[in-house]
Amino acid sequence: MSGKYRNFAHRVDIGAPVERVWRAFTDTRLLTQWCADDALITPRERGRVHVMFGAVEVDATIDVLVTAQRMRLILLPTRGMPTLDAATQDAVLVEDFLFERLSPTASALRLMSSGVPAMQSWVTYYLQKRRHWELALARLKVFLEKGLDEDRPTPRY
């Protein structure tokens, strides 16, 4: 199985400007509201992203950061990740987020995940991570389209 990897791509169209989508990803306060309660990001090249999707932990170094266009993560080993053996030791797990302006009020966000070894011991990790990102990006869409990222004054009665 050496040299064989699992990859997936996911796209979500969001009725919000690309700048708001970018901010929701790069502001820890907003990230915790739509992604995971204990999410953390240091938004700079060689910065870190840490997210707990239940039992699936994503801990990554930000390899590429182009404001409102691209964020590429290199995943680091975590407790829930299967161990790499001789056949998979060269695996580099990558999550690449591409932000695209569709119009002044709409964006597309693409996630391309690659490098998960195509071995039986990695199937559960791969499927869980894929499902958690799909759900998180659906929550992001709702979060932004309902304007939950925008600070609104508390109504006075």
Q: What does the domain layout of the chain look like in residue ranges?
A: 5-145
| pLDDT greater than 90 at residue 29 | yes
> Once rounded to an integer, what is the mean pLDDT over residues 140-156?
86
| pLDDT tens by residue, 5-15 | 999 999 999 99
Q: Hey, is 138 helix, strand or coil?
A: helix
Name the CATH architecture for the domain at 5-145: 2-Layer Sandwich (3.30)
Residues 6+ apart with CB under 8 A from 54: 132
79 Cα distance to chain centroid: 18
Residues 6+ apart with CB under 8 A from 79: 57
| pLDDT tens by residue, 63-115 | 999 999 999 999 999 888 888 776 677 889 999 999 999 999 999 999 999 99
Q: How high is the pLDDT of residue 157? A: 72
To the nearest whole number, what is the mean pLDDT of the chain?
92
Q: How high is the pLDDT of residue 143? A: 97
Strand bridging mode 56-66 / 5-14: unpaired
**157: exposed, middle or buried (C-beta count within 10 Å: 0-12, 13-18, 19+)?**
exposed
Do 46 and 61 form a contact (C-beta atoms < 8 A)?
yes
156: confidence class by pLDDT, cuts 50, 70, 90? confident
